[in-house]
Amino acid sequence: MNNKLGVDSFLWGVATSAFQLEGSPYADWTSWDSILDTKPHITNHYELYREDLKLLKDLGVNAYRFSIEWSRIQPRENIWDDEAIAHYQEIIDILNSNNIEPMITLHHFTHPLWFIKKYPWHEDASIGKFLVFAEKMASTLKGVRYWITFNEPYVLILAGYFEGCTPPGIRDISLGIRALKNILACHGKTYDLIHEKVAGSPMVSVAHNMAALAPWSRWNPLDKILAKVARHFYNHSLLDAFKTGILNVKFPFKEEICIAVPIRDKLDFFGVNYYTRIHMRFNPFKKMGIELRHRDIDGYGLTDMGWEIHPRGLERVLRHASELNVPLIITENGIATRDCQKKIKYMKRHVDVLERCIKEGFDVRGYFYWSLIDNYEWLQGLDARFGLYRVDFDTLERKPTNAAAYYSYLIKSRSSF
């Protein structure tokens, strides 16, 4: 395969995020969710990282996506924790010495508490504060080629600003749009500074959550309009902004929003997180007139979180993402279930779709299964079992599952990608 990324092989990886594995005493989420009072260290990966990194070798992956916990690096405003920086550098070094390509995420939902209190994203001062952190990381961390600036910026805005169920817990759409604008401005600037500071040819992207969005009833014109508007906002408006430098948002019964965002072509690849299909119906009694549900239409069942298993949706979102004309990487795909057979079938079915897409000519360069070990699934707590390795949250023991063995097999059997 003529690989423009400059690596000889397809990236087969697993993805994690720092807070979901290790918590942080300085993060906004720590005081947000009471489950973290009793399990502040979650899987205690911050201490057990060496053992966990060995699991990557056992799996046979050649790439690992993980995040840097900003609140550990800057526990207080203007204070750097050099030990925390050295900790993440050691992870990078271990990966490189095992020929595992590190892909790091600078922002994966959590913030230092001081930041979210004093400089929430809707304030323009947030931009400078994030950039100081991003610049420090780009100039200090060595041996990283793949950089994700923001994980799922739209999820952050929907949950943190529209719904208000996650930090900063604001319910205001216009503040949410302002926050999104500032986050995208940070992406654009971080893209430039990574290219300025990082030697070689760094590859920079965001990880965008894309879902298959469908009308609840195909015969109801209002449901159809809603699904179309949702697809435009949730899946496509970010792609358009990368192509044009304009963020265009149209909500029903609201004035159209057009904002310049400095991100045109600021992408070296595009990270797609894909999990499920969501059916939407217009319901005036629900917030923003939208009701969501998952239905087991394909007959593959629902996950433990009630999400529909819909592998064909992966093709749809990859088709749209291909319009960006940059290589694509599936930066997350996975299932919460305690049923190993279900997990295995989920992986196989999605990788089959991926294989078909690659044969059809889609330029996909990597697949990262979410996630390496069971972890903290935000508002769902510790019950959503995404891991290839099962974690006992009391003893912190990690145990391989058949799904781990299957993923290793899958990697070997599709190594020709």
Which residues contribute to the site for ligand GCO (CB under 6 A)?
17, 20, 151-152, 155, 209, 273, 332, 370, 377, 386
State which residue, 121 or 370, has the beta carbon closest to ligand GCO.
Answer: 370
Smallest distance, ligand GCO to C-beta of residue 189, A? 22
Residue labelled with tokens 């592998």: 311
Q: How far is the CB of 15 from ligand GCO (least distance, A)?
A: 8
To 10 degrees, what angle do helices 125-140 and 82-97 make?
50
Beta bridge mates, 207 = 151, 271
Closer CB to ligand GCO, 133 or 274, in the complex: 274
Residue with smaller CB distance to ligand GCO, 162 or 282: 162
**ω into 371 cis (within 30 of 0):** yes
Q: Please report which residue ranges of 203-339 form alpha helices under DSSP H.
A: 221-230, 237-244, 312-321
In the structure encoding, which two tokens stand for residue 282, read together?
A: 């217009």
Closer to ligand GCO at the Cβ: 355 or 377? 377
CB-based contacts of 299, cutoff 8 Å, min separation 6 = none
Q: How far is the CB of 75 from ligand GCO (least distance, A)?
A: 22
Q: How far is the CB of 106 from ligand GCO (least distance, A)?
A: 13
What is the smallest separation between the CB atom of 277 and ligand GCO, expressed in angstroms? 15
> Which is nearest to 400 in space by CA: 377, 373, 382?
373
For residues 247 and 304, the answer to whether their CB atoms sit within 8 Å is: no
Give the whole-angstrom CA distance, residue 84 versus residue 75: 10
Peptide bond into 221 cis (omega under 30): no
Nearer to ligand GCO, 282 or 389 (CB): 389
In the complex, minimum distance from the CB of residue 122 to ligand GCO, in angstroms, rounded to a whole number: 21
Looking at beta carbons only, is 17 or 401 nearer to ligand GCO? 17
| The two structure tokens encoding residue 186 | 């940070």
Q: Which residue, 65 or 365, has its beta carbon nearer to ligand GCO?
A: 65
- What is the nearest approach in angstroms of ligand GCO to the Cβ of residue 110? 10
- Residues 355 and 365: their CA atoms lie apart, in Å, by 11
- Report the sign of the C-alpha dihedral through residues 163, 385, 319, 153, in that order: positive
